A = this chain, B = another copy of it.
């Protein structure tokens, strides 16, 4: 376990002082904390974006790394705060389901605690910033080595994020785009393992004619500007425009249908 290490993932941006305030709270409790930014550019309130982000990034970390994840449209309501042990990682997160995609991929050894031990919170709790007032101090104490069990009792109920599953039909697999990366590449929910040499990939509306994307092994197998399909680095079927931005150029995004024939 990487001592004193904790990571931060939020939808706060860094124009605002919120991430900085959380860092201050953490260091005030554990001056030796090693704070690692994962992202503060999760789109505001976008739990599906956060879910994909966590599922793709967290499994690479050392066992038991502590991750603080704050995308929290329901802050101040009665929604719980959780400490989840999943995929060998520890995640401090509002009960919003953004970690359940990760749990589906790594179904073993899940434990979920409710964060309720107020002794670990800041003395004053605002109703709009639990990242600073609850999750940051709890993370700091955990990074000092207190046992996970001290944060609160186990729970067996939590929100589960809906995640679209592809439909297997006689004419192939019908999926949809679930993530658009920084390059505008369109990542689908269709497993790359379903792709074979003679496969056909079409992207776009199921009513209008879908646009065909040529299957390649990597971007460099096609010319700049070409629409291609490939197996992404996360093992999913992906559509890209070589050295271009497929999302912008196709007007596609999360939810756009994709067909593997």
Q: Is the beta-carbon distance between B38 and A23 smaller than 8 angstroms?
A: yes
Contacts of A23 in B (CB 8 A): 7, 36, 38, 60-61
Tell me, yes or no, whether A181 is within 8 Å of chain B by CB.
yes
Residue in B24, B31, B126, B217 whose CB lies within 8 Å of A76: B217
Residues of B close to A24: CB separation below 8 A: 57-62, 65
- Within 8 Å by CB of A14, from B41, B60, B128, lies B41
B218→A77 contact, CB < 8 A: yes
Question: A36: which B residues are within 8 A, CB to CB?
Answer: 23, 27, 35
Alpha-carbon distance A59/B124, docked complex (angstroms) = 15
Is A16 part of the contact surface with B, judged by Cβ < 8 Å?
Answer: yes
Given contacts A60-B132, A233-B132, contact A75 B218 (CB under 8 A): yes
Q: Which residue of B lies closest to A58 (CB)?
A: B24
Instruction: Determine if A27 and B2 form an interchain contact, defined as CB atoms under 8 angstroms apart.
Output: yes
In the complex the two chains form, is A15's CB within 8 Å of B181's CB?
A: yes
Question: Is A256 in contact with chain B by the CB < 8 A criterion?
Answer: no
Whether the pair B28, A15 counts as a contact (CB closer than 8 A) is no
Q: What is the chain B residue whose CB lies nearest that of A126?
A: B233
Max chain B Cβ within 10 angstroms of own Cβ: one of A44, A54, A219, A221: A219
Is A39's CB under 8 angstroms from B56's CB?
no
Q: Mark A40-59, 1 if CB is under 8 A from B, else 0.
A: 11111100010011101111
In the assembled complex, the CB of A131 is this many whole angstroms from the nearest CB of chain B, namely 9
Residues of B within 8 A of A54 (CB): 17
Interface: A161 (CB within 8 A) = no
Chain B residues with Cβ under 8 A from A14's Cβ?
Answer: 37-41
B56 A41 Cβ-Cβ under 8 A: no
A194 at interface, CB cutoff 8 A: no
Kindly state whether residue A232 has any CB partner on chain B within 8 Å. Answer: yes
**With the chains together, A243 CA to B45 CA distance in Å?**
7
A172 to chain B, nearest CB (A): 23
Query: In the complex, which residues of chain B have a beta carbon less than 8 angstroms from the beta carbon of A127?
Result: 217-218, 230-231
Residues of chain B lying within 8 A (CB to CB) of residue A229: none
Q: Are A128 and B45 in contact (CB under 8 A)?
A: no
For the A-B complex with A16-B182, A45-B243 known, give 10 more contacts whose Cβ atoms are closer than 8 Å: A15-B42, A16-B183, A17-B56, A18-B182, A19-B38, A24-B58, A24-B62, A44-B245, A76-B218, A128-B219
**What are 17 A-B contacts with C-beta separation under 8 Å?**
A15-B49, A15-B182, A17-B39, A17-B54, A20-B39, A20-B58, A24-B59, A27-B61, A28-B61, A44-B182, A44-B243, A60-B132, A73-B243, A75-B218, A75-B220, A76-B219, A128-B219
